[in-house]
Amino acid sequence: MTTSSRNRLGSILLLAGRIVLAAIFIVAAIEKMKPQPGMPWTLHSINLSLLMFSWVVDSYNMLPSSTVTLFSQILPPFELFLGIWLLSGIALRLSSLVSTLLMCMFVTALVSAVERNLGINCGCFGQGAQVAVKTELIRVSGLFLPLAVAVTIGAFLLHRKPPAVDAAAANSALPAGSEHA
């Protein structure tokens, strides 16, 4: 396999990984912000859904009560922003690194809930999906986190700058009399 075809395959795999990872964040955000059945998409209904999501966040018993509502109001819009950012490819190294750190935060919360035997719904994809914390821990740590790490590594490898060529060193390697750099 030539270097060019390897780079092309790497770019295709990175794009596919970005799309899947972005979809995960976008779907998770929409599911958390989605209005309750029968309610229209309004700021009020989205705010109500985020307020209900705060109960899920609070059930993890990890944040002070004073920050639970703020965190639950910020996380889903941030997930939506992160998904769109990953799709855009702008500052891909940074967006992929942020996605990996966010996945690490989710794994930490899930491990904490499992270790403390909390019988809670993970809330990862909104209120509608009743998923046990252990099941979600397997999914996030076994699939989503490795995907985020792979996208981050790919972003750093494919977008690295070629090594700078030192003109003096390059000229010293040329035979005498051929220094036209």
Judge whether 174 lies within some domain. no
Q: What pLDDT score was predicted for residue 165?
A: 59
**Contact partners, residue 35, CB within 8 Å, separation at least 6:** 41, 42, 45, 46, 48, 49
- Structural domain contains residue 165: no
163 versus 106: which is more confidently predicted?
A: 106
Q: State residue 155's pLDDT score.
A: 93
Whether the CB-CB separation of 171 and 181 falls below 8 Å is answered with yes
104 within a domain of the structure (yes/no) = yes
The reported pLDDT for the residue numbered 10 is 83
In tens, the pLDDT along 74-129 reads 999 999 999 999 999 999 999 999 999 999 999 998 889 889 888 777 777 776 66
What would the pLDDT profile of 26-66 be if each residue is shown by its tens digit?
999 999 999 988 899 999 999 999 999 999 899 889 999 99
* pLDDT score, position 18: 96
Inside any domain, residue 169? no
In which domain, by residue range, is 103 found?
8-160
Distance separating alpha carbons of residues 178 and 90, to the nearest angstrom: 43
Indicate the number of domains in the chain.
1
- Picking from 139, 81, 84, the residue whose alpha carbon sits closest to that of residue 110 is 139
**Residue 146: pLDDT above 70?**
yes
Residue 178 lies in a domain: no
Assigned domain for 19 exists: yes
| Domain annotation covers residue 116 | yes
Does residue 61 sit within a domain? yes
